[in-house]
Structure 1
Amino acid sequence: MPIVAPKVVKEILKTMNETRNREQLAVLRADDERYGAMIANNLAVLDQLLDGDLVYTHSSAIVDTKRQYLDSLRDGRVKYVAADRRDAVVAVYGTIALMHGQTVMQAVIDGTTKQLNNLFQAVWIQREGNWRLLAWASTVIPATR
C-alpha cells in the first residue's frame, strides 16, 4: 500500500473542502433564485429549478408534484408576496444536497393572505450540472414557541 505524504493529504482535504463549500454556495444561490422566481411568479425559472420528480409537501400537509405546484401558481390559487429564508444549513453528498432552516413567507392562498413561519427540509439534486429542488417539506412553527 502506497504511503501518502501528510502535505499531499492536507492538499487533498483542502481541495475537497473548497469543492464542498463551492457546491453549498451553489445550492444556496439556486434556492435564492427559486424564492425570487416564486415571488415574481416566474414559472419558466421555476420550471428549470424544480426537478421533474419533485415532491413538495406544504405545511398544510398537502403534497404536490411539480406539475401541481406550478399549476397552483399559474392559475393564481397561490401567490407568494414575500419570503425570507433563515438559518439555512446545507450539506452536500456528491450530487445530493440536504438543506434545512426556517422560512418566513407571506402568501395569498385561495384568496386569503397568510403569514407563514415554518421550519423546512429540502433535498436538492444535481442534474446536468444544475441544482434542482427534488423534495421539500415544511412544518409550522407554533406561535408559542
Structure 2
Amino acid sequence: MATSIHGNQTMNETDEVLAVAGRRATAMMAADVEGVALLLDERCVYTHSSGLTDTKESYIAALRKQAYIYHAVETVAVEHAVIIGHLVILNSVMRVSMTVKATGTSVDRKIKVTEMWVRDQEGPGWKLLISHSTNLA
C-alpha cells in the first residue's frame, strides 16, 4: 500500500531517507567516494540534469577521477514523498554547485530531482536506487 505525504507532514521512513540523503550530499562535497558508494544500490541509475546517465560503477569511477567536484548540494524542498513497502520515492527541489572537470566550467543549478530509495535487505539503512534530475528555469 502506498502512503503519500505533503508539506510538513512526516513519516519515519521519509525522515530516515532524508537523513541518508544528507549524508550522501556531505560525502559528495567532501569528495568521499567510498562514503557515496556505500549509499548507492548496486542497481543504481543516476541521470544528471545534463541528461548524462550513469550506473553506480560509472558514477563512482567519475567521482574517483574528480570529474565532478561538488561545492554545495542542498535540498531546498521536498515536495512529495511516496512510501511503498521498502521503497521511498522523493520529489524534491535542490541547489547544486559544482565544477565539471571535462569542461572546467562551474555549474550552479536549481534542479528538480526524483529519487527512489530502497531499504537495504542486507543490513540496516537505505540506498539510492534511481535519481533523475532536470534543470529548473
TM-score of the aligned structures, taking structure 2 as reference length: 0.85
How many angstroms does 1:76 deviate by? 1.2
Higher helix fraction (1 or 2): 1
Structure with higher Rg: it is 1
Q: Which has the higher contact order (CA 8 A, sep 6+)?
A: 2
Gaps of 5+ in 2: 1-9
Query: May I ask how many residue pairs the two structures share in their alignment?
Result: 123
Supply the distance in 2 between the matched residues of 1:71 and 1:116 (Cα, whole angstroms).
23
How many angstroms does 1:116 deviate by? 1.3
Seq. identity, %: 27
1:139 aligns with 2:134: yes
Runs of 4+ in 1 over 2 A off after TM superposition: none
Supply the distance in 2 between the matched residues of 1:130 and 1:48 (Cα, whole angstroms).
10
| Aligned equivalent of 1:115 | 108
Supply the distance in 2 between the matched residues of 1:140 and 1:24 (Cα, whole angstroms).
24
Residues 1-145 of structure 1 correspond to what in structure 2 (within 5 A)? 21-88=11-78, 89-110=80-101, 111-127=104-120, 128-142=123-137
TM-score of the aligned structures, taking structure 1 as reference length: 0.81
Supply the distance in 1 between the matched residues of 2:74 and 2:125 (Cα, whole angstroms).
23
Q: CA RMSD in A?
A: 1.2
Gaps of 5+ in 1: 1-19
